Amino acid sequence: MTSLLEVNNVSLAFRQRTGFFSPPQLIPAVKSVSMQVREGEVMAIVGESGSGKSTLAKLVLRLLMPDTGSITIDGRPSGTLSPRDFANLVQPVFQDPYSSLNPKRTLAEIIQMPLIVRGGVSAKESEDRARELFGRVGLPMRLFHTYPNQISGGQRQRVAIARALMLRPKLLVCDEPTSALDVSVQAQILKLFEELKQSFGLTYLFISHNLAVVERIADRIAVMYRGEIVEQGETKPFFAAPRHPYSRMLLSSVLIPIAGRPLPVVSRDFETLGNGP
């Protein structure tokens, strides 16, 4: 299978001004990251806050530009794609469904927006597609003309997903799409992602801080730590035997609902092993 997304040696550092006269400090966020995501695959990026996983997502979404390295989407350098072509290929789903939906527009308008911006279809076609997707993501039709504040967090995330699918993209970049949701709603949304992947032949770049969440959905896992991918591999062997001490720590931090077990010890000993800041 061909790679839909290729990230080659990408680095990005943020510049922070510490004082008016002092030169800006460079804070590396993503350091020489390389990975390939094949078509139809779910690639999970896992790490703590500050590990650079959201920065990587923004780089893939072209919300940020890399300092060095290149990103190829569907065989073409991502930077050379027109915004329209890019939007036809890649769409985002963000973490917080409360801030990612415009509160002053109805759900119908929100979902159709990508298509309205792109143009090329009649209003009727656009609404038909929105209605179809509305049902596909499991939203009741009576909510079609309501506003985001009238629906729950889980429903909002479904709206965000429907909107992302409007242009029939190939790649969905999902940045912590279930972290703001209840466990039961999270399970519903994860199931929805699985179903949509099957029926639309989607590829996901799925970002999370919780390894337990991605275990079911991911085909491959990349663990990020301080801007670098420290371990990358197929899901099954990864969970059977994570190699990097940081991966092991992330995995042991998942709390299992069995009483009487001590809390896992979060040991950051490996920070002194040369991976330091």
Q: What does the binding site for other proteins look like in residue numbers (CB under 8 A)?
A: 48-50, 152-154, 182-188, 190-191, 209-213, 215-216, 239, 249-250, 253-264, 266
Q: At closest approach, how far in Å is the CB of 211 from other proteins?
A: 8
Helix (H, G, I), strand (E, B) or coil at 234: strand
Nearer to other proteins, 105 or 209 (CB): 209
Q: At closest approach, how far in Å is the CB of 181 from other proteins?
A: 8
Q: At closest approach, how far in Å is the CB of 239 from other proteins?
A: 7
Nearer to other proteins, 112 or 186 (CB): 186
Q: At closest approach, how far in Å is the CB of 256 from other proteins?
A: 6
Q: At closest approach, how far in Å is the CB of 261 from other proteins?
A: 7
**Which residues are 99's β-sheet partners?**
none
CA–CA separation, 229 and 47 (whole Å): 9
The sheet that has 171-175: what strands, in order across it? 90-93, 171-175, 203-208, 42-46, 220-225, 228-234
Q: At closest approach, how far in Å is the CB of 49 from other proteins?
A: 5
CA–CA separation, 166 and 27 (whole Å): 36
Nearer to other proteins, 144 or 239 (CB): 239
Nearer to other proteins, 36 or 252 (CB): 252
CA–CA separation, 251 and 113 (whole Å): 39
Nearer to other proteins, 86 or 246 (CB): 246
Structure tokens at 103: 């509160």
Q: Which long-range contacts (CB under 8 A, 24 or more apart) does 138-147 make?
A: 138/188, 138/192, 139/107, 143/107, 144/106, 144/107, 144/108, 145/106, 145/107, 145/108, 146/106, 146/107, 147/103, 147/104, 147/105, 147/106, 147/107
Nearer to other proteins, 122 or 199 (CB): 199
Nearer to other proteins, 86 or 204 (CB): 204
CA distances (Å), 47 to each of 58, 225, 226, 236, in order? 15, 6, 9, 18
Q: At closest approach, how far in Å is the CB of 77 from other proteins?
A: 34
